[in-house]
Structure 1
Amino acid sequence: MKSACSYDYVLIQNDEEMEERYCGHYNSLVYTSTTNRIKVLFVSDNAIEKSGFMAYFITDLDECRNNNAGCQQRCTNTIGSYQCECENGYVLADDEHNCKEGGCNLQLYDPEGEITSPNYPLNYPKGKNCNWHFVTTPGHRLSFSFEEFMFEEHNTCKYDHIEIFDGGSNDAISLGIFCGSDVPPNLQSSSNQLFMTMHTDASVDRRGFKAFYSSICGGNLKAEQTVGFIYSHARYSDGKYEKKMRCEWRILAEPNHGVNIRFAQFDLEREANCEFDYVEIYDGDEILEEHRVARYCGDKLPPSFTSTGRNLLLLLITDESEEQKGFIAEYQSTIPGTIAPFTSTTRRPPREPIINND
């Protein structure tokens, strides 16, 4: 069965512009429309037959539209109910509607967002040690910038300060220690993780900080014996890729090994010569015509490829017109001339099913 579900499938249409197509095997699937209408279309061809599907539907009132359902900060509608949520640095109170100051050891998995120091815009508390661990989609990096920054002054930032690390813990390489009133420079991670610590002592307090983080496609990746993953865009599970993207992934294997890459899902704008949205594979770490292996678009899974040396480059280009679902690629280190097993189960974002190809 093709990755774009071209043979037997169920099409769910929310409005004229929003639709989702499903095929393969699902243990469960929940679809919520954004309007008061939904259309379900079932299509089958004259070849393979399967057992089909069973579905239930209910109507749901969005309680969040009425005075935020009484939630002090954020309200999320759920099927048959709603849920109050709090901004970073706060936790839900016992009444499940109001928010109170919470701990400051946070793990953040959204591809982009805003964070502030505890109590912001008021002064941060004294005697605090806080940690923020940022994790974005595999195959992407994190960009971090401060809008406001105000800490106790010291020439070596001995007292109140923040420190940012290029990785998933404070054992990673430090990108800098910052204090005072000078806004730190914009920072970027080399992988899909960043780690930030904040320390305040028992004396002076200041306003603290307000910062933003976002995801950047591309980067330098290391191929190992275990499978690594690349997603075409950071919000792969939520929608289509963006327009005017240019993403370069440079993958390096261990000495005397090559990089094997295969696509688990693939859906780019279809065009006979792949001139609009496309993926290119290069046998090396430079974008040179003599190193280009192939260019792919459409919805057919490209064949797997193993580089002749340690380096492989994957390039994604999208234009300003049509968008599609994108791709999931898997890569690992392998000995050139052999076939990588890819025995591990493909990891996908929440709500992203595994499509079984017959």
Structure 2
Amino acid sequence: SSHNYMLLVFRTDVSGGGRGFKANYTSTPMSCGGIFRSETGTIKSPPEPQPYSKCKWIISAPAGKVIELGWSSVSIPNSVFCTRSNLQIFENNTDTSLAHKLGETYCGARIPPTMTSTSNILMIVLTTPSYATYDPKFSAYYRIRSADEGCSGNFLSMNGAIQSPNYPEEYPIGLNCVWTITVPTGKQISLHFKDFFLEGRAPCRADYLEIRNGGHASSPLIGKYCGATISDDITSFGNQLYIRFYSDAAIGSKGFSLTWDGTLSGCGGDLSGYSGSIISPNYPYPYGRDGMCIWRITVSQGSLVALSIVDIDLEAHSNCLMDYLEIRDGITPRSPLLGRYCASDHPVTISSTSNSMHLLFRSDISREGRGFHLKFSTVCNRTIRGYRGVIESPEFPSAFTQPVDCTWTIEAPLGNAFSVAFSHLMTVPDKMLALFCSGVNSRGWQMCKGFQQCDSTYLQINEGTPSNGKMLGKYCGGTQSLPTIKSTFNEIHVHMKVTGLRSEALFRLEWFVVGCGGILKGKSYGDLSTPDYPELVSRPVVCEWTIIVDSGSSIKISVTDLAIDKPNDCDQNSIQFVGGPDSTSPLLSKICQTSINNQLELQTSGNRAFVRLQVKQANKHFKFKASYNQVYSSCGGLFNGQEGSFHSKNYPQNYDSFDDCTYLITIAETHRINLTFVDFDVDFSFGSNCSFSYIKVFEGEMEFSNDNSSIRTLCGSAIPQPIISSTNKLTIRF
């Protein structure tokens, strides 16, 4: 036999018989391997070296039973990817080509995790090459138990099922069951619930099923579930899930039945909510080689994301080119880069400028670290500037029930105001009414008046500064009618407060600036004017317009009407025209004279312009009107080929003053761009601070007035090192 069991079958038919047979058997020592059928046992590697062998130990349990396998010690010669001596575990079949592999291929001294089979057959395979320098050794122990006995397990199979004890009958009281599921690195686990019914309801303080992203009780929580249903399948962010089933000392219910599928490729996921955690696969143990994970964090609109690095240990490299964590300010892989990290030298907290972040984790085929642990939270106390936007309560569209105190301050240029409209508004305080009673009516009933107490949970909107402001509205107590609010100041404050165990709030509002100014994008022509033109301005006001046309074009601005009361007092009343996205760009013209008789025309060299009109003194003699058109640009451009070249205007002669040129390179999505400078002489006479003339290189398309996305700022006469993009787009602004 090949193992320590042999089965002989003797069969006769209905015809005549013969003398029969007699056989003798002897036993000989096995070199290795064996079949084990007892309820418990110990398995050890052979004491003598067995070069070029493949030893198999098979644990065979009765139908309906499963096998728990643990390890006392492992010492196997190490090799890259364990391709020489190694230890593997299979289930369901004794043929490795048909069996399901559990866990990894093991070598070295790392002890495999405790395993629970999903079938009644488990097989350990030890492979030793002929050139092994020393004998591989291991010691393992096992236990055969009923599939529904107990309530725990450590599963390493790609597919399987878990049920509550006694399912579909009522589960016992006083349970505390824990299951972990681990699949190979680079895979994700999907849980599908076939049946679910537990005692209790949210917030699940009685019986509950707790599911965490990772293999430990401290791993980030996905959710705590109870009641009658779990609506959707649950997918892990990495290759592990931790499942805990708890029942109190009261009554039980039917329980649950779930299956899992660990064949999904990838890791990462989409995260939302007020706060949460992210860990690398298998954290705090090595995360695996040649992997890539993407997480997208989104909080409610109007708020920001704060990301804290609790722990990080990746393969070290000076430029983080091997294993790294890349964090971007936005939801897409082309959003502005906030940082790339691989070592302990990192900021404690990284903040976004929008309500989302994009995280990319990559590992190569060489060394591994223990990975990383991150925490994110919502930043709802902030100042917002712009011309329109949306603000939502944390975790919208769900009602927010945690204690919170948020204030969003919205600012517009001087002389403007706001319009605010609600699409959702609901607050439920823990103190519903204050009652004031006096006298009785004709029926003998006491007469009382009820007043809502808005001191615990409410939404309040004020305008102006704390010293000269006023309240525009305060809302509390159930579902509200949806108000529309008009301010008279250029500053409003949205204050949301939730406190108390039974309080909650939910709202969504849209706001926009009423007055002048704005971002004019996507149109090849348009108009600018003072408020209520052709009427004269009669109050202090500031209007700011940002004009953006297609890359490779420029903007021609024609001033058709202008009157200023106090000529040449440029500190009080003026109009500035800037060739770029904001006031830091080159100044084209500043006008503060009484009037113009002929039409004034200006043209930018790039595809962006910024116009700022200010009236600081109230008067009745100021008006302004202009139009703009998109025209051909003398510099900048769009480049779509796989290779090409471009240069500054007039090259190799000197470039012009006040140039603002934008070059956009776009190639195939699966490629990156190598940008190489052949000749370079920019602003050498002014030193190296790049405060006058410069080149900025941006990942992707340059966003409006956002220098955070720039990956290099260049000036001087030394030829810069080549720049390699991480996406298929680069923007170069000169």
Which fold has the larger relative contact order, with Cα–Cα distance below 8 Å and residues 6 or more apart in sequence? 1
Question: Is 1:233 the equivalent of 2:389?
Answer: no
- Secondary structure of the residue that 1:325 maps to in structure 2? strand
Give the aligned partner of residue 135 of structure 1: 298
Give the aligned partner of residue 189 of structure 1: 352
Shift of 1:193: 0.6
When normalised by structure 2's length, the TM-score is 0.32
When normalised by structure 1's length, the TM-score is 0.60
Per mean C-alpha deviation after superposition, the further-off stretch among 294-303 and 117-126 is 294-303
Written as runs of structure 1 = structure 2, the 5 A alignment for 1:77-96 is 85-90=234-239, 96=259
| 1:40-97 CA-partner distances (Å, limit 9, x unpaired) | xxxxxxxxxxxxxxxxxxxx8516979999xx988967857887634312499xx942
Q: Distance in 1 between matches of 2:209 and 2:494?
A: 48
Larger strand proportion, structure 1 or 2? 2
| 1:254-306 CA-partner distances (Å, limit 9, x unpaired) | 8975331123323254666744444332334x4x1412233513344474223
User: Which amino acid in 1 is paired with 2:376?
Assistant: Y
Give the aligned partner of residue 410 of structure 2: 251
Q: Distance in 1 between matches of 2:502 and 2:240?
A: 41
Q: Which among 350, 362, 374 is matched to residue 211 of structure 1?
A: 374
Question: Is 1:159 the equivalent of 2:322?
Answer: yes
Question: Is 1:293 the equivalent of 2:428?
Answer: no
User: Which amino acid in 2 is paired with 1:88?
Assistant: F
% identity of equivalent residues:
22
Shift of 1:323: 1.7
Give the aligned partner of residue 242 of structure 1: 402
Q: Answer yes or no: is the 8 Å Cα contact 1:139–1:192 preserved in 2.
A: yes
Q: Distance in 2 between matches of 1:277 and 1:80?
A: 30
Shift of 1:150: 0.4
Gaps of at least 5 residues in structure 2 are: 1-194, 200-206, 216-221, 242-257, 433-450, 517-530, 533-734
User: Which amino acid in 1 is paired with 2:427?
Assistant: D
Q: Distance in 2 between matches of 1:82 and 1:319?
A: 29
Per mean C-alpha deviation after superposition, the further-off stretch among 186-195 and 273-282 is 273-282
Q: Distance in 2 between matches of 1:180 and 1:265?
A: 45
Residues 182/303 of structure 1: CA separation in 2 closer, same or farther (3 Å cut): same
Give the aligned partner of residue 330 of structure 1: 510
Per mean C-alpha deviation after superposition, the further-off stretch among 149-158 and 255-264 is 255-264
Q: Distance in 1 between matches of 2:210 and 2:354?
A: 37
Per mean C-alpha deviation after superposition, the further-off stretch among 317-326 and 124-133 is 317-326
- Secondary structure of the residue that 1:122 maps to in structure 2? coil
- Secondary structure of the residue that 1:280 maps to in structure 2? strand
Q: Which among 462, 466, 473 is matched to residue 282 of structure 1?
A: 462
Q: Distance in 1 between matches of 2:347 and 2:310?
A: 9
Give the aligned partner of residue 275 of structure 2: 112
Give the aligned partner of residue 21 of structure 1: none
Q: Which among 417, 420, 439 is matched to residue 261 of structure 1?
A: 420
Q: Distance in 2 between matches of 1:327 and 1:63?
A: 32
- Secondary structure of the residue that 1:290 maps to in structure 2? coil
User: Which amino acid in 1 is paired with 2:405?
Assistant: R
- Secondary structure of the residue that 2:327 maps to in structure 1? strand
User: Which amino acid in 2 is paired with 1:209?
Assistant: F
Residues 247/124 of structure 1: CA separation in 2 closer, same or farther (3 Å cut): same
Q: Answer yes or no: is the 8 Å Cα contact 2:472–2:485 preserved in 1.
A: no
Residues 210/301 of structure 1: CA separation in 2 closer, same or farther (3 Å cut): same
- Secondary structure of the residue that 2:260 maps to in structure 1? coil
| 1:215-252 CA-partner distances (Å, limit 9, x unpaired) | 23333445545xx4323332551x44333x32111224
- Secondary structure of the residue that 2:339 maps to in structure 1? strand
| 1:124-161 CA-partner distances (Å, limit 9, x unpaired) | 23333432211122233222223321012223323321
Q: Answer yes or no: is the 8 Å Cα contact 1:223–1:259 preserved in 2.
A: no
Gaps of at least 5 residues in structure 1 are: 1-59, 339-358
- Secondary structure of the residue that 1:162 maps to in structure 2? strand
- Secondary structure of the residue that 1:281 maps to in structure 2? strand
- Secondary structure of the residue that 1:139 maps to in structure 2? coil
The number of equivalent residue pairs is 269
Residues 98/221 of structure 1: CA separation in 2 closer, same or farther (3 Å cut): same
Q: Distance in 2 between matches of 1:304 and 1:275?
A: 23
User: Which amino acid in 2 is paired with 1:296?
Assistant: K
Q: Distance in 2 between matches of 1:133 and 1:61?
A: 29
Shift of 1:182: 4.5
Q: Distance in 2 between matches of 1:301 and 1:314?
A: 17
- Secondary structure of the residue that 2:468 maps to in structure 1? helix
Q: Answer yes or no: is the 8 Å Cα contact 2:457–2:497 preserved in 1.
A: yes
CA RMSD, 1 decimal = 4.1
Per mean C-alpha deviation after superposition, the further-off stretch among 194-203 and 261-270 is 261-270
Q: Answer yes or no: is the 8 Å Cα contact 2:274–2:394 preserved in 1.
A: no
| 1:295-353 CA-partner distances (Å, limit 9, x unpaired) | 51334447422334543221223455762434332223344899xxxxxxxxxxxxxxx
Give the aligned partner of residue 343 of structure 2: 180
Give the aligned partner of residue 197 of structure 2: 62
Q: Answer yes or no: is the 8 Å Cα contact 2:498–2:505 preserved in 1.
A: no
